[in-house]
Structure 1
Amino acid sequence: MYDSSTQAYLNKGNAYLIRSVRNVLLFYSKRRKYILRVCYCLIIYMIFNNGSKSKARPKSNPKTFPESRSRSLVEPVGGGQISQNAQEKVSPQESPSAKKYKPLIAGKAILKKLLYKFKNSSTVALFSQLNLRSPKTLHSFYQLALQVILLFFKAFLTLQIATLDGNLVSSLISRRFKKFFKFLLLWLVIGIPTSITDSLLEKSKKLLSQTIRVNLTTKMLDDYLPSNGNATLYQLLNSKSSAITDPNHRITSTVENFSNSFSILPSQLLTPILDILIAANHMAKSSENASEGALLLGLVANVSTLVLKFFTPNFSTMNNMRNTLENKFHEFHSNIIVNNEEIALAKGHSREIDLLDTSYFEFEKFERMTLRRMAVYNFAISFIFKYTLGAFGLMLCAVPTFTSVYFAGFKPSEELVSGLSSDFVANRSLLLKASDSLGKLIQSKKNIQNMTGYANELWEFEKELIDINESSQLENAINTRKDSHGNNHVNADSQPLLVGPNVSYGDEISFHEIPLVTPNGNVLVENLTFSIKPGDNLLIIGPNGCGKSSLFRILGGLWEVKDPGKLVVPYDKKDLFYLPQRSYFTYGTLREQIIYPDSYDDYRDKILRAKQENPSSPVHDDEYLIELLREVNLDYLLDYDSDLEEEDDIEKDLSRASTSSCVFMIPCLDRVEKWPDILSVGEQQRLAMIRLYYHCPKFAVLDECTSSISSDLERECYRIAIEDLKITVISVCHRTTLWEFHSKILKFKRPEGEGMATTLFTSFDPELRLQRHEELISIDNSLKRSDELTKRLQALKKMKNSRSGRRPALMYIEEDDD
């Protein structure tokens, strides 16, 4: 059919093809184990990587990886770097050595890019903030290592149990009952370490989750409410650039979810991989060509994951949306709890229930959609990996049995049947577990995406806190810590009241051309200038919204001092105390309400230190606090035995033992109540004044803090603070009875219409001011009386004119005043 030359050419080609196939098979047979292991790893990676959807890749940003995107890493001989396009253009002139190392350089660039992504991931950034040398962090590493060791030991036990299953069936088929009961006893014995391993694994997961949560929560709380007194929380919630609106949700639920997700990650990843590798290795030992069958099973599984990708939702997006909707509902409900009295008085229940219903309906609708999508996803996972791959695996297990029986002439011996049964049961058990592990490996991608979403939220929150605190520390470092006269501050251990480039320290409070500007940019006062020294008590008056509260926010460090203003304040933050109209009361004892923000330990240490340094001097202990309660008529708060519920004798003894731990502690101050609920506004204001007396600062800001106290008691509260304790006050008050305690006045004036307010700072003579005030009231009353007389006279004239033609009746006008 072909001529001789053509036939010779075909024979030569066939011989070359056969020789090539033989060489390939020879190469494969010599390196079979290594090739199969690499293929197994590649298949596992492809299954895991294709198992679920991920977010769309962002557009390339030249700033992200400048070395790998904007220029080549290959340097020419001259030392300068050239671009990738230029490198491609001159490629024909490249030296052989450059061509030889080009793939190596490209691989290094890819590795560098992956390493950069790993270092800049949210999870790594979050853990990098922890102290790696702290005992808690080291404890978490030990728990993680313990979990990995237990997982390897569990994989070893799984292999032994599968082999034992095969031996049980083999001994049963071969009617070797002694061996059967021997293997059954081994089954019970091996169950003990297996159960212990499972129990220790669960415990290690919980402990790891708890340790991570403790570490993260401690770190975030330290940044959230720093001990240096920085108003991080206020700046976080009032910053226009901050996107954090749910710090309470992130520091509680998000931290817990992240810790749980991270703690189960080793088990979710390592257990399926070990199961798959053990199954493939055991099949290779039981049958000559079973390894290739397992490889074929892996390829089928990889195709199945590509099909599964169409049914897989984006877990990270779903988790973020769930957190947003859930936080919205919690925020509405928290707002109702905080403003319960105002809502009840305004009868706004229907409006609030509408908001709650709307937010909950949105959350419920999203959950229903999530359940539908997850139902489809779980069905696909179960059918594909549990049944489809399980059936294919059973077929692979049956192939060695069929071939062995075929080569035995369909007359296998009893020993062959026993061995085939043992191998089939063991391979079947391992393959079914491996197919189930493939599904778990795919589902672990969901946990990784959720963990990444939690890490992004926490790192966003932590980064905001770090930026705020670092900015405060930078201002503190830049600050010279010198007073207004240029002298170094004497107390270097105290914490500064304010920091900033426009802040200096001295023994006075001085504002020099400071603009009062809100965070939104509204200018309330263009420049504010005044100065008060110790003993110069300042009275501030003016209409609402003119800038009085803004002045206090600058003094409290909540707002920065804008240019070109200059502020002089005392250095130590304890030298200034602020009392608003409604003070804050925390949960705790009556003693803790008075000493706030000091803790119980701080209070006790102060007492012990004062007793050691000067035993003869008076000490601000519990007796002093009780005396202060008596001076403001709050001593009845100490008599609370009748208000308390009956306690057991054991509880009473424990209470007495706890309060007698320090000789300076009196049990009557250990009453624990919800103080904002049981105290009236006037009682709260008097208790806040006791707090001021206890701390006894140099300066105090009193922002209508006695408006609900009777006039006589209010004067007594001011007298104790100013005359007895020598506290210089900056007060906003409306009662003229308090004028006598002030020597300076700062008046805010607002022009008609909208515009910036102006200020007037002058000396204040209370007697003269009060005399003029009384004269003004008298004149105002006289004008009102004159208006009333004029109206009565006009009414009488009108009545007189209406009686035309008749003699008017004699009327008398009572002469009240001449």
Structure 2
Amino acid sequence: MVVFSKHQKRRAVGLLLLGGGAIVVGGRLLQLQIRAYQKEQNALCEMYLTNAASKQPISRKPKVAVNARFAGRLGEILQICVPSVFSKEALFILVQSCLLVNRTLLTDRISVLEGISAEAVITKDWAMFMVNLVSFAWTAAPAALVNSGLKYMQMIISLSFQQRLTENLHKLYLSNKVYYVASTLQGLSNADQRITEDVEKFSSAISELFSYTFKPVLDIILFTRSLSKTIGYKGQFLLYSYFLLTSSLLRSISPPLALMTAQEAALSGNFRNAHQRIVSHAEEIAFNDPPGGDTEQMILNNYLNRYVCHSRLSAFQKFVQQVADGYLIKYAASIVGICVYAAPIYYSRQRADTKALTGDYIRSMRLLMNTSTAIGQLILVYKRVTSLAGFTSRVSELLESVRQLSTKEGRTQRASPLQKMLEGIDSNKAINYDPPCLIFSDSIEFKHVTLYSPDGSLLVRDLSFQVPRGGSVIIMGPNGSGKSSLFRVLAELWPLQSGTIARPPHGEIFYLSQNPYIVQGTLRDQVRYPSPPLAVSAAASGKWWSSSANVTSLKGMKHPDDVAVIEALQATEIDYLVERGDGLDQLQNWEETLSGGEKQRIAVARVLYHNPRYAVLDECTSAVSADGEENLYRRLQKSDITLLSIAHRPALKKYHSAILYLDGSQGGSGWRYEKLAADTTNPQ
């Protein structure tokens, strides 16, 4: 037995007391420092971190936490990620679980082999050493395979979860015009970031969490059983008691990681959105004299400073937390583990066999280190869970918003604040509003419709008129009189506040705005929109269209519908685009190569190609010359398409049966409906 001198004992005791004091003082300073930085962070967040929808400061009270609400939200999202026990995701999780079990068993096996190797070296039994070395090499091969397989399966699970969740979000977000309603009703901010970055981070976090919880639990169970043969259960109980105390201490000084994660994601989204605004409005910014680049630079730097400031505070808090985690969980735990193993041997009066003692020491130290690592991972799981709570909160809020806005009841609920505001506007006036009602019919009809803008301004009051089949109507009036707003309500982009609107069912009415949308794809895809681009639909179905169609007389014609596409281009006088490039298959940056008038002609070509019963035109030919505009309306009239048009040129009246004036009289809500002369509806 080793005997220490008085000097060595005093030195050991002094170092022990010094280390204990340093831990206590350091922990207290850590707690005070984190509180001070958290106070500063909350002050900064209250100053600049605002909700993009309501423009109100975010509450200082943490709204993101690991609680019952988080568990419910997580369970709901996991039902999307793993739809059934027979899904591929469930199979992936089963495979990963088997790999985790095998990794633990292999680790236990390797610790035994290391102990045997140490015994062979001490006794100089080289035959046993070589045999054991071969066994170690054979065991290392599946161990390397299992380790790599775990990382691979973790990535596969993360990608599968991301695909399931993103496809579900795409289905909800891009149905029933939710993408538009969410922005206009101010119900959702930075949807692009939440669907892309936040879903990816959530999928990665949840896939990691499984490995960092299931394997440590399994390690603790198996390694505890193996360690009981050398140090018994009492020694392990002391080790576990230390970890319980450490866990309580770390939780008491831990910063609010969930709130920090959510805030950092929000600030990152705001910074990204500011850059997107410059891309979307680059021309408007550049047209200013002097250009608005300096102003936009200040705005971008402001968003960047907010994000960097928050990230620095978060990084410092995480740094201090990691120092405490590393010392208490890794190094101090190793010291405790060594003491737990060495104490019985040191105080034992029996002389132990050196060979057996060496082997037991190697095996026990390997198992103790693995057990300490496993327990440490379990203790630090709360950090992963709290970070996961932040991503779960943002993804869940996105799911809840798009689900709500995809239903009529949800849109009505979102519009209820506006409805209450409108009720208060005319509370002192004897005006009775009809309840809002939208029905499907063979014609377009407005009955006693009163329309307000989202800010509460009255646009039209008690409007009633009809657009029967074959009886086109033109709407005219000054800017701001509610012409485009009327179309938005008809298309269900804005909520109907009062009155009844009848309209044809979906698929029988086509809307064209002043700024037509140009899809990414070929010239053929531009005309066929909103039908999917052929490359996308072919990839989804695994097939391609037949190239043997009897339509090869024109350049670039491969699809059976190409004849109709060419006819639509000829009718709108832009068939020269076919010869300009590689026929209908040409791919260009259409936003840049097409002029404003050509874009509007493309939009009219879409109407002629799809040939709906009704077409709603919101100044869709304003960039076309007067003669060209009349030619387009003449072709629409010949196609037997009933028009509801907004236009300013009086020459277009002859292509309509009636005119609706929104003149802004009577307090800004006047209107007048007139029938046009019969001879003006059939121009030669």
Residues 291-370 of structure 1: pairs in structure 2 closer than 5 A:
291-346=233-288, 347-370=291-314
Q: Which residue of 2 aligns with 1:581?
A: 514
Q: Which residue of 1 aligns with 2:42?
A: none
Give the distance between the partners of 2:333 and 2:381, measured in 1 at CA.
18
Give the distance between the partners of 1:236 and 1:328, measured in 2 at CA.
17
Residue 147 to residue 120, structure 1, CA distance change in 2 (3 Å):
closer
SS of corresponding position for 2:616: strand
SS of corresponding position for 1:574: coil
Shift of 1:122: 0.8
Give the distance between the partners of 2:491 and 2:609, measured in 1 at CA.
19
Shift of 1:310: 4.4
Residues 633-644 of structure 1: pairs in structure 2 closer than 5 A:
633-641=573-581
Partner AA of 2:180 in structure 1: Y
1:154 aligns with 2:103: yes
Question: Contact 2:198–2:395 (CA<8 Å) still a contact in 1?
Answer: yes
Shift of 1:444: 1.8
Shift of 1:434: 2.0
Residue 598 to residue 339, structure 1, CA distance change in 2 (3 Å):
same
Give the distance between the partners of 1:352 and 1:119, measured in 2 at CA.
38
Give the distance between the partners of 1:120 and 1:297, measured in 2 at CA.
31
1:749 aligns with 2:663: yes
Question: Contact 1:297–1:393 (CA<8 Å) still a contact in 2?
Answer: yes
Give the distance between the partners of 1:207 and 1:562, measured in 2 at CA.
48
Give the distance between the partners of 2:150 and 2:624, measured in 1 at CA.
62
Give the distance between the partners of 1:460 and 1:280, measured in 2 at CA.
42
Q: Which residue of 1 aligns with 2:165?
A: 216
Q: Which residue of 1 aligns with 2:595?
A: 680
Q: Which residue of 2 aligns with 1:624?
A: 564
Q: Which residue of 2 aligns with 1:763?
A: 675
Shift of 1:352: 0.5
Who wins on radius of gyration, i.e. which is larger? 1
In structure 1, stretches of 5+ residues that fail to align are 1-52, 56-115, 476-499, 613-618, 642-666, 770-818
Q: Which residue of 2 aligns with 1:441?
A: 378
Shift of 1:603: 9.5
Partner AA of 1:637 in structure 2: L
Q: Which residue of 2 aligns with 1:651?
A: none
Give the distance between the partners of 2:77 and 2:514, measured in 1 at CA.
41
Partner AA of 1:328 in structure 2: N
Question: Contact 1:685–1:708 (CA<8 Å) still a contact in 2?
Answer: yes
SS of corresponding position for 1:582: coil
Q: Which residue of 1 aligns with 2:501?
A: 567
Residue 747 to residue 603, structure 1, CA distance change in 2 (3 Å):
farther
Shift of 1:278: 3.3
SS of corresponding position for 2:206: helix
Give the distance between the partners of 1:298 and 1:731, measured in 2 at CA.
77
1:510 aligns with 2:453: no
1:123 aligns with 2:74: yes
Give the distance between the partners of 1:193 and 1:131, measured in 2 at CA.
29
Question: Contact 1:130–1:219 (CA<8 Å) still a contact in 2?
Answer: no
Give the distance between the partners of 2:273 and 2:495, measured in 1 at CA.
29
SS of corresponding position for 1:422: helix
Partner AA of 2:200 in structure 1: E
Residues 166-185 of structure 1: pairs in structure 2 closer than 5 A:
166-185=115-134
SS of corresponding position for 2:507: helix
Partner AA of 2:402 in structure 1: L
Q: Which residue of 2 aligns with 1:255?
A: 199
Identity %: 28
Partner AA of 2:576 in structure 1: Y
1:735 aligns with 2:649: yes
Give the distance between the partners of 1:385 and 1:521, measured in 2 at CA.
59
Residue 464 to residue 726, structure 1, CA distance change in 2 (3 Å):
same
Partner AA of 2:460 in structure 1: V
Question: Contact 1:311–1:380 (CA<8 Å) still a contact in 2?
Answer: no
Q: Which residue of 2 aligns with 1:481?
A: none
Residue 474 to residue 541, structure 1, CA distance change in 2 (3 Å):
closer
1:464-504: per-residue Cα shift (whole Å, max 9, x none)?
222222336999xxxxxxxxxxxxxxxxxxxxxxxx97233
Partner AA of 2:274 in structure 1: F
Give the distance between the partners of 2:394 and 2:531, measured in 1 at CA.
33
Residue 505 to residue 402, structure 1, CA distance change in 2 (3 Å):
closer
Partner AA of 2:78 in structure 1: F
Question: Contact 1:620–1:694 (CA<8 Å) still a contact in 2?
Answer: no
SS of corresponding position for 1:354: helix
Query: Which of 387, 390, 405 lines up with 1:450 in the alignment?
Result: 387
SS of corresponding position for 1:758: coil
In structure 2, stretches of 5+ residues that fail to align are 1-33, 39-66, 413-434, 551-558
Shift of 1:159: 0.8
Partner AA of 2:207 in structure 1: S
Give the distance between the partners of 2:618 and 2:190, measured in 1 at CA.
30
Residue 746 to residue 252, structure 1, CA distance change in 2 (3 Å):
same
Partner AA of 1:712 in structure 2: D
Shift of 1:121: 1.4
Shift of 1:639: 2.5
1:41-60: per-residue Cα shift (whole Å, max 9, x none)?
xxxxxxxxxxxx9x9xxxxx
Give the distance between the partners of 1:181 and 1:759, measured in 2 at CA.
100
SS of corresponding position for 1:352: helix
Shift of 1:155: 0.8
Residue 339 to residue 209, structure 1, CA distance change in 2 (3 Å):
same
Query: Which of 354, 371, 384 lines up with 1:417 in the alignment?
Result: 354
Shift of 1:536: 1.7
| Aligned residue-pair number | 578
Shift of 1:235: 1.8
Partner AA of 1:431 in structure 2: L
Shift of 1:117: 3.9
Question: Contact 2:80–2:164 (CA<8 Å) still a contact in 1?
Answer: no
Query: Which of 407, 413, 417 lines up with 2:350 in the alignment?
Result: 407
1:706 aligns with 2:626: no
Partner AA of 2:492 in structure 1: G
Question: Contact 2:522–2:587 (CA<8 Å) still a contact in 1?
Answer: yes
Partner AA of 1:625 in structure 2: V
Shift of 1:296: 0.8
Residues 414-813 of structure 1: pairs in structure 2 closer than 5 A:
416-471=353-408, 502-563=437-498, 565-570=499-504, 572-600=505-533, 621-641=561-581, 668-722=583-637, 724-751=638-665, 755-765=667-677
Shift of 1:620: 7.8
Residue 528 to residue 332, structure 1, CA distance change in 2 (3 Å):
same
1:18-64: per-residue Cα shift (whole Å, max 9, x none)?
xxxxxxxxxxxxxxxxxxxxxxxxxxxxxxxxxxx9x9xxxxxxxxx
Give the distance between the partners of 1:768 and 1:631, measured in 2 at CA.
22
1:239 aligns with 2:178: no
Q: CA RMSD in A?
A: 2.9
Partner AA of 2:249 in structure 1: V
Partner AA of 2:571 in structure 1: E
SS of corresponding position for 1:707: coil
Partner AA of 1:126 in structure 2: I
Residue 407 to residue 506, structure 1, CA distance change in 2 (3 Å):
closer
Residue 217 to residue 684, structure 1, CA distance change in 2 (3 Å):
same
Residue 528 to residue 131, structure 1, CA distance change in 2 (3 Å):
farther
Question: Contact 2:70–2:393 (CA<8 Å) still a contact in 1?
Answer: no
Shift of 1:402: 3.2
Partner AA of 2:525 in structure 1: E
Give the distance between the partners of 1:184 and 1:304, measured in 2 at CA.
39
Partner AA of 1:639 in structure 2: E
